[in-house]
Amino acid sequence: MNYADLKKGILDIAAVADAVPEKFKDRCFELLLSHMLGELVGREQKPPVPGTKPAKNVPPADSLPSRTSLRVLMRKTGLTEEELQQVIMFADGEAHFLKEPNTRQVTLGQFQWALMLALKNAVLNDALTTDPEALRSICQEKGYYDQANFSANFKRGKFIGAFAKQLSPQGEPQKLSPSGMDALADTVRSVLSK
């Protein structure tokens, strides 16, 4: 093992981890370090025993799971897997946002989080849906919750047409419509541009 390469790799990982939101920095560093060390160990291991079969369908550690809803989203909107991987990370059965909506407008922030939650649900459960109560929680956490207008926003503006059925407080999760998928793609690209 070359310690100079190891040191450089750790410094590179620290720089990447420093670029993610604060609450994910430690986990991001751990995952990247684990991945790097796994590659180093893999290079030093002996070749497989003849006659054994390599594992099939094991995605790389840094890839999103293969989900039908994600493939449909990418096909219909032109989003790439690389773009999605810059916004959301999947590790150990959990999805974490690497980049988040960052607008000063409460209504726009609420709408963008509704779309981002649909993306997260697609990664986790293969369904481009948003749960209104999960949206309420994230809006409260991120500062986009306007108690007086939270429910009313579902009935106007960008929310109209973005979901197959109208979101309603304490209601069922609703699926993104085709125009909602386009709005999600716009949101992903907007988040990446900042």
Whether 98 is in a domain gets the answer: yes
Q: How many domains does the chain fold into? A: 2
Whether 59 is in a domain gets the answer: no
- Is residue 31 located within the same domain as residue 111? no
> Residue with structure tokens 């999103």?
64
87-93: Cβ within 8 A, 24+ apart: 87/116, 87/119, 87/188, 87/191, 87/192, 88/64, 88/119, 88/120, 88/123, 89/24, 89/28, 89/31, 89/62, 90/63, 90/64, 90/65, 90/123, 91/27, 91/31, 91/61
Looking only at Cα atoms, what is the longest distance across the chain? 68
- Is residue 74 located within the same domain as residue 39? no
- Is residue 36 located within the same domain as residue 77? no
Q: What is the pLDDT along the chain (194 residues), one digit of tens a residue?
A: 566 776 777 788 888 888 888 877 778 777 787 777 766 555 544 455 455 444 444 444 457 888 999 999 999 999 999 999 999 999 888 999 999 999 999 999 999 999 999 999 999 999 999 999 999 999 999 999 988 888 888 888 888 899 989 888 888 999 999 999 999 999 999 999 98
- Is residue 35 located within the same domain as residue 87? no
- Is residue 121 located within the same domain as residue 28? no
Whether 58 is in a domain gets the answer: no
- Is residue 124 located within the same domain as residue 74? yes
pTM above 0.85, yes or no: no
Host domain of residue 32? 3-44
- Is residue 87 located within the same domain as residue 135? yes
Whether 56 is in a domain gets the answer: no
Whether 60 is in a domain gets the answer: no
| Spatial separation of the C-alpha atoms in residues 53 and 172, rounded to whole Å | 45
> What single-letter DSSP state applies at residue 158?
G
